Amino acid sequence: MKVALITGITGQDGSYLAELLLEKGYEVHGIKRRSSLFNTNRIDHLYQDPHDPDQRLKLHYGDLTDAMNLTRIIQECQPDEIYNLGAMSHVAVSFDTPEYVGNVDGLGTLRILEAVRILGLEKKTRIYQASTSELYGGMPENKNEKGFYDESSPFYPRSPYGVAKIYGFWITKNYREAYDMFACNGILFNHESPRRGETFVTRKITRAVAKIALGLQEKVFLGNLEAKRDWGHAKDYVRMMWMILQADKPEDWVIATGVTTTVRDFVSLAFEEVGIKVEFKDEGVDEKAYVVSCDHKDFQIEIGKEVLSVDPSYFRPTEVDLLIGDPSKAKNKLGWVPEHDLASLVKDMMKGDVSLMKKDVVLLKAGHEILKQAE
């Protein structure tokens, strides 16, 4: 039985990857940070009784800032594969916590690589490093002849997150070449799902649209509506992570859809999933969205209602306007093809958030009923 170790297992990618590896018969070990609150909701359905001898998912307390802890866990697990998905991955927040991001996202990668080397596991353990499209920084002159970013495009990170990840990228490549390790970078473009963190723009949009449709929220405030991203489904991307470590030799890979969409269009698609058509008026910081029609039997919303405004405070100090990846290498050499397009991704996310927000409606109604009885 193969053994895999996943850092960041409680996150979006970690939870989907754990599902995939368990389905493939792996014993899966995950590292989670100690917290005063339970943060395992994404993997609770996988993790039942820790005392069950047949339980193939095992969790360990750890942190990417603690080299001794990481080394001990790797020594205990003796993993065939390590997937380093743990990171402080919020680009905007990285401007507020640049030192922490550098320690976790940059040096955390080094700590894993060095632990594998010190323990003499260079020939046994294959390592996947979660890299990011933020390495490119959206610099138009660095695109390939097709207008996309690929494995040979120059890097120009535009955030502390991107800068930290570029260290993780190069130290992985360095250890691969210096110690003949099977260590690979997956340069992931934006990937989303119903499990995406609530502070990321796609999930912020789908949650807000669900709330607006159900009458729980008036409108949503967003930043740069012109920003374009290459959005894929996290399920497709974790499948590619696994494929990277099954390849004949260690390489670096772009994981993307090759299709770009503006934040504005993502908003429109989300509203369409609940039968609401919106119209955008004005430009820049004055741009707003208004309801044009609503043809969903479960939702009632006023025609002409303002449901979106731009808030300049959400603009980044150095904005990346366009990111689009070229997945040709992954398709040609590994046969990877995404199973989800943008429409199915938005549908999946909206279905999840509408269901989630309907529970809030039930709770609100119950609360109102209790107040009435108290009166």
The domains found in the chain, sorted by start residue, are 3-188 (3.40.50.720), 203-224+262-321+341-374 (3.90.25.10)
Residue 213 Cα distances to 272, 273, 368, angstroms: 11, 10, 20
Backbone torsions φ then ψ of 280, nearest 5 degrees? -100, 135
Buried/exposed 69-95: b ≥16 CB within 10 Å, e otherwise: bbbebbeebebbbbbbbbbbbbbbbbe
Rounded distance between C-alpha atoms, residue 119 and residue 78, angstroms: 9
Distant-in-sequence, close-in-space partners of 73: CB < 8 Å, separation ≥ 6: 5, 29, 31, 60, 62
Closest by alpha carbon to 87, among 183, 164, 201?
Answer: 164
Write down the pLDDT at residue 319. Answer: 62
| Candidates 16, 161, 175, 237; catalytic one | 161
Is 61 among the residues known to form the active site?
no
| Candidates 132, 172, 206, 261; catalytic one | 132
Rounded distance between C-alpha atoms, residue 113 and residue 104, angstroms: 14
Rounded distance between C-alpha atoms, residue 280 and residue 293, angstroms: 13
Tell me which H or E stretch contains 249. Answer: none
Determine the 3-state secondary structure of 88 from DSSP: coil
Identity of residue 162: G
Q: Is 149 left (phi over 0), alpha (psi -120 to 50) or beta?
A: beta
Q: Is the dihedral of CA 14, 15, 20, 22 positive or negative?
A: positive
Rounded distance between C-alpha atoms, residue 81 and residue 260, angstroms: 32
| Candidates 19, 27, 81, 134; catalytic one | 134
Closest by alpha carbon to 109, among 67, 69, 137, 75?
Answer: 67
Is 318 among the residues known to form the active site?
no
User: How many of the other CB atoms lie within 10 Å of CB of 190?
Assistant: 24
DSSP 325: B
State if pTM tops 0.75: yes
Per-residue pLDDT of the chain (375 residues; tens, 9 = 90+): 999 999 999 999 999 999 999 999 999 999 988 764 567 778 878 866 666 667 789 999 999 999 999 999 999 999 999 999 999 988 888 999 999 999 999 999 999 999 999 999 999 999 999 999 999 987 777 788 778 999 999 999 999 999 999 999 999 999 999 999 999 999 999 999 999 989 899 999 999 999 999 999 999 999 999 988 999 999 999 999 999 999 999 999 999 999 999 999 999 999 999 999 999 999 999 999 999 999 887 788 899 999 999 999 888 776 666 788 999 999 999 999 999 999 999 999 999 999 999 987 666 555 555 655 555
Q: Is 333 left (phi over 0), alpha (psi -120 to 50) or beta?
A: alpha
Backbone torsions φ then ψ of 260, nearest 5 degrees? -115, 145
**Alpha helices (runs of H) in the chain, residue ranges in sequence order:** 12-23, 67-77, 91-94, 98-101, 108-118, 160-179, 201-213, 234-245, 263-272, 328-329, 342-374
β-partners of residue 27 are 3
Q: Are 48 and 19 in contact (CB under 8 A)?
A: no
Token pair listed for 320: 């990346």
